[in-house]
Structure 1
Amino acid sequence: MKRISADMIPEHFWQIRFDQNHDSNTPTLPSISESPNCQNFAYALLKHFGFEIFPFRSSNLWEDSSETYVVSDDLRPLDLLLFNRTQNPWGAHVALHLGEDHAIHLSKKQSEPVIWPLAQFLELAEYQTFIGAKRLRKIGVCP
């Protein structure tokens, strides 16, 4: 898949709103219907495109090596992108790469899903550090 365009994302995803009462300190990730946040939004989109992933919190996603692996370059559509204020993956923001230097995400600040060029993430203090990208092993072969 070369690129995922906005029209390939079903309308119901565009209606999802970030749960302003979401507790980022909960040890487990609630479902997207219970408490929409960046992680379960990205995971629900992966599921829409035919891929399942355990509902990892961001630091657990970064540490995982059974379902995902780190991608250092050559980002592809459906790669999970982690951003934070620092290199610490705890509480990192998760976006889904769409291809051609763009990603979709759901954030507390924007409240609704948006597609941004990757450079736009780095302009905000809360996303100023790109921690890295993770690819599902089922999508791409680990080098």
Structure 2
Amino acid sequence: MPPHLRRVPYVYARHPGATAPGDVAGGANCQVYAYAVLAHFGRLVPPLRSSELWADRAATEVAEVAGPLDLVLFDGGRRADVEEGYAAHVGIHLAPDRVLHLCAEVGVPAVWTYDEFAARPRYARLLGIKRVRPAPTPASRPAPWAASRP
């Protein structure tokens, strides 16, 4: 991973919508950081907040088992008063029992085990796994005139 993605400071206010996609120069929150890392590997995610990411089915899909570069979402448990995924913490599954993430507690990117997340009430529940869908290639997009044919 390039050096500029290894030294990103955690900055809560630098969330999707508050900063340009991929811009981690001034710091990032967990989503902006995760999306920048994925972009480095050619996987593009729209600038979605965690609840939007959890609900999204266009750019991502739910996965049953985490694979390399899948997004994993953690929270403190289901709350009836908020939308599922609201304020969830987002990390990147790297390998079995290894998640790359950026959080306020550490302040810079870190790799934790799933047990390390489970030991913290704020991250105790693995909400779910999202896999980034491949971007359509020009050959896979329908021709603009195809829809107008009878």
Q: Which among 38, 45, 52 is matched to residue 37 of structure 2?
A: 45
Match of 1:10 in 2: 2
Match of 1:119 in 2: 115
Distance 1:137 1:16 in 2: 26
Match of 1:79 in 2: 70
Distance 2:76 2:18 in 1: 21
Residues 29 and 82 from structure 1, CA distance in 2 versus in 1: closer, same or farther, beyond 3 angstroms? farther
TM-score, normalized by length of structure 2? 0.78
Shift of 1:85: 0.9
Q: Which among 90, 102, 108 is matched to residue 106 of structure 1?
A: 102
- Structure with higher Rg: it is 2
Task: Give the share of equivalent positions with the same residue, in percent.
Answer: 35
Match of 2:124 in 1: 128
The aligned length equals: 127
Local SS of the residue matching 1:94: strand
Q: Judge conservation of contact 1:29–1:57 (CA < 8 Å) in 2.
A: no
Q: Which has the higher contact order (CA 8 A, sep 6+)?
A: 1
Letter in 2 for 1:50: G
Structure 2 stretches lacking a partner, 5+ long: 79-83, 136-150
Distance 2:27 2:8 in 1: 10
Q: Judge conservation of contact 1:102–1:117 (CA < 8 Å) in 2.
A: yes
Please identify runs of 4+ aligned residues in structure 1 that moved more than 6 A.
none
Q: Judge conservation of contact 1:78–1:97 (CA < 8 Å) in 2.
A: yes
Shift of 1:39: 0.2
Local SS of the residue matching 1:135: strand
Letter in 2 for 1:15: R
Match of 2:19 in 1: 30
Match of 1:70 in 2: 62
Distance 1:49 1:85 in 2: 29
Structure 1 stretches lacking a partner, 5+ long: 1-8
- What's the C-alpha RMSD, in Å, of the aligned pairs? 1.9
TM-score, normalized by length of structure 1? 0.81
Q: Which among 19, 30, 35 is matched to residue 11 of structure 2?
A: 19
Distance 1:42 1:84 in 2: 16
Q: Judge conservation of contact 2:14–2:32 (CA < 8 Å) in 1.
A: no
Local SS of the residue matching 1:53: coil
Q: Judge conservation of contact 2:30–2:103 (CA < 8 Å) in 1.
A: yes
